Structure 1
Amino acid sequence: MFSLPSAEAPGIASNCDLNNQSCTVHMGEVSLTLDIQPRPVRSMAPLNYRVSIVGARASNVIISLQGSEMYMGINQTPLTAVESKPGDFSGQGELAVCTTGDMLWRLTVSAETAAGPLNTWFEFRAK
């Protein structure tokens, strides 16, 4: 099973800012790259998600978003395999607006692989 429970665990992209670049997590022989467009990430605007998984054949890739500082409801986006790029998945979503104007979000990427579930997460701020 590929799972990274905390930002201090090896492989978490804790120093990577999704508002400036794509972020990659390495889990043994598997790497997962997440990209969100457009940048910077904003609430109530269409967002394009792209996940690339190298080193494992993945399926059923889902992005889940939750507010780290307050409950913002259930926000899940199933991603679709990109036929022309094996290991790449894409989808669209939107962040709920936060009444405080700025929100710390936790984005979890979950996928199924032959070796078991793959789960990792990223944190980022959005206005």
Structure 2
Amino acid sequence: PGGGSIELMIEPRPVATSRPFTLHAHIEGLHPAKVAVDFSGVEMNMGITRLELLSAGGDRYSGQITLPVCVTGAMLWQASVVLETGDKVISIPFLFRTTHG
């Protein structure tokens, strides 16, 4: 709403559930007061794990997290980027798959 763009990058790839990984968000045109990412399992209920992203300068944010281990192996996750901008809360979903690591 109102324009803007979000680019989400994950490293290293592939993402393993038993190892930490880093998220980088490049957010243009939205100027959020707060940025977080809510992780939830798509194919299995793993609860919601929230990561608050810290400003990395300008319109870039980053944070590091280790997701819960799924005993079934590879798993599809939804990472919802949550932006608090003024009186609005905007949530943008991204999907990615983890490997059993």
Say yes or no: does 1:52 pair with 2:17: no
RMSD in angstroms over aligned alpha carbons?
Answer: 1.4
Structure 1 segments of 4+ aligned residues over 6 angstroms from their partners: none
Q: Hey, what does 2:41 align to over in structure 1?
A: 67
C-alpha contact (below 8 Å) 1:66/1:106 kept by paired residues: yes
Q: Hey, what does 2:55 align to over in structure 1?
A: 81
Q: What's the offset of the Cα at 1:56? A: 1.6
Q: What's the offset of the Cα at 1:44? A: 1.0
More strand, by proportion: 2
Q: What's the offset of the Cα at 1:115? A: 6.5
Determine helix, strand or coil for the equivalent of 2:43: coil
Say yes or no: does 1:90 pair with 2:55: no
Q: Which runs of 5+ in 2 are unaligned?
A: none
Alignment of 1:24-43 (within 5 A): 29-43=3-17
Instruction: Pick one of 117, 121, 126 that aligns with 2:89.
Output: 117
Q: What's the offset of the Cα at 1:102? A: 1.1
Alpha-carbon distance in structure 2 between the residues aligned to 1:114 and 1:56: 10
TM-score, normalised via structure 1 length: 0.72
TM-score, normalised via structure 2 length: 0.89
Q: Residue 61 of structure 2 aligns to which amino acid in structure 1?
A: F
Give the percent of matched residue pairs that are identical in Structure 1 and Structure 2: 36
